[in-house]
């Protein structure tokens, strides 16, 4: 089991690498100019502020050589997960539908949020639908947006993976998502379920001392899945 964590200038690759390792996964940080990902069983595009998020969230990172490789990796069915800024980069790269806009309140938010796992085709993730987890968010541009057709397609084909929710898993009242996300969406995947993007940071919840342990499932699930597919 070997995951690659992409490192752009400004990304917090170390946090994800540490979290994955602490869940027993072998990881390696990969510099953004690399073009060979063959040795990896999965790729994580981590959070942070790649290129300062100048111009648009993820706009510059998307143009780096490694992202073309990540696209090919995903095309071949390889598992790719984008966290926070990584989600923004995957959306900019059109590996995931829609876009991430500035938070509705225009303010950065850092706090622990409750998420409900939706029934989805996401292969990064094997928590049962309806399960509720507590994961920190930390972003200024996590407002998920897509047009109506895309939204119903996401719904119909099980591509909505995570929603911000109440503690008991019920839907939030309108306008209560931390970033104003459309339909309270916190994470989505592509149709095949191998590319997954989420704004919350599971890597910040792998240690009871610093943020809880609900995030571990995001990494251990990958291990199980990847082991199951012979990766």
Partner 1 sequence: MARYEVYVTYKEGVFDPPGAMAERVLANLGFGGVNSVSVGKFIEIDADADIESVRKMCDQLLANPVIEDYRIIVAGEA
Partner 2 sequence: MRDDLSADLAPRLAEELGLKPAEYERIVEILGRTPTLTELYMYSLMWSEHCSYKHSRKALRMFPNEGPAVLQGPGENAGVISVGDGWAVAFKMESHNHPSAIEPFQGAATGVGGVVRDIFAMGARPIAVLGSLRFGPLDEPRQRYLFEGAVEGIGAYANCIGVPTVGGEVYFEEAYAGNCLINAMGIGLMREEKLMRAVAAGPGNLLILIGSTTGRDGIGAASVLASQEFDQKAEEMRPSVQAGDAFTEKLLIEACLELLQRGLLVALGDLGAAGLTSSASEMAARGGVGVEIDVTLVPQREDEMEPFEIMVSESQERMLAVITPEDLAEVEDVCARWELPVTVIGQVTDTGHFVVREGDEIVGDMPAATLAHDAPLYDPPAERPAYLDELQRFDPMTAVEHPQSAEALTATLFDLLASPNICSRRWIWEQGDHQALLNTVVGPGSDAAVLRIGTVGDGEISNRAIAVSADCSGRYCYLDPYTGAQAAVAEAARNVACTGGRPAAVTDCLNFGSPEKPEVFWTFVESIRGLADACRAWEVPVISGNVSFYNESFGQPIYPTPAVGLVGVLDDLAHHTTLGFKSAGDVVVLLGETEVDLGGSEYLKVVHQTVAGMVPRVDLDHEAALREVLLEAIGEGIARSAHDCSEGGLAVALAESCMAGGLGADIHLDDALPPVASLYSETQGRVVVSVAEDGVDRLFELALGAGVPFAVIGTVGGDSLRIEGLVDAALGKMREVYETALAARL
Distance CA 146, CA 148 (A): 7
Binding mask 120-139 for partner 2 (x = CB under 8 A): ----------------x-x-
Please report, as residue ranges, which positions from 14 to 53 form the binding site for partner 1 (by CB under 8 A).
51-52
Residues in contact with partner 1, total (CB under 8 A)?
24
Member of 3, 44, 45, 53 binding partner 2 (CB under 8 A): 53
Q: What is the DSSP letter of 111?
A: E
According to the binding rule CB under 8 A, does residue 48 interact with partner 2?
yes
Using CB under 8 A, which of the segments 64-72, 105-113, 117-125, 162-170 binds partner 2?
105-113
Member of 21, 32, 56, 192 binding partner 1 (CB under 8 A): 56
Distance CA 91, CA 82 (A): 9
Distance CA 193, CA 120 (A): 8
Which residues pair with residue 134 across a beta bridge? 114
Contact 14, 50 (CB under 8 A): no
Tell me which residue of 114, 119, 206 sits closest to 165, measured CA to CA. 114
Residue where the block lists tokens 């001392």: 209
Please report, as residue ranges, which positions from 122 to 141 form the binding site for partner 1 (by CB under 8 A).
none
Which residue ranges make up the site for partner 2 (CB under 8 A)? 9-10, 12, 14-15, 17-19, 21, 48-49, 51-54, 107-111, 136, 138, 140, 201, 203-204, 207, 209-211
């Amino acid at each position: 089991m070997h995951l690659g964590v992409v490192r752009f200038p400004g990304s917090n690759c170390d946090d994800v690498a540490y979290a994955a390792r602490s869940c027993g996964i072998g990881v390696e940080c990969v510099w953004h100019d690399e073009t060979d990902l063959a040795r990896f069983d999965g790729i994580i595009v981590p959070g942070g502020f790649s290129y300062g998020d100048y111009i648009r969230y993820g706009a510059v990172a998307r143009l780096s050589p490694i992202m073309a490789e990540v696209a090919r990796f995903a095309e071949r069915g390889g598992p790719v997960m984008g966290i926070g800024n990584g989600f923004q980069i995957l959306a900019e790269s059109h590996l995931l539908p829609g876009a991430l806009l500035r938070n509705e309140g225009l303010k950065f938010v850092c706090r622990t949020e409750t998420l409900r796992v939706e029934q989805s085709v996401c292969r990064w993730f094997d928590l049962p639908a309806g399960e509720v987890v507590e994961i920190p968010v930390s972003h200024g541009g996590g407002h998920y947006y897509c047009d109506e057709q895309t939204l119903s397609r996401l719904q119909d084909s099980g591509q909505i993976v995570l929603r911000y929710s109440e503690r008991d898993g019920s839907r939030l009242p309108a306008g209560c998502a931390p970033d104003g996300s459309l339909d309270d969406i916190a994470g989505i995947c592509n149709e095949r379920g191998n590319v997954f993007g989420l704004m919350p940071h599971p890597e910040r919840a792998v240690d009871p001392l610093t943020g809880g342990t609900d995030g571990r499932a995001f990494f251990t699930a990958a291990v199980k899945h990847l082991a199951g597919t012979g990766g």
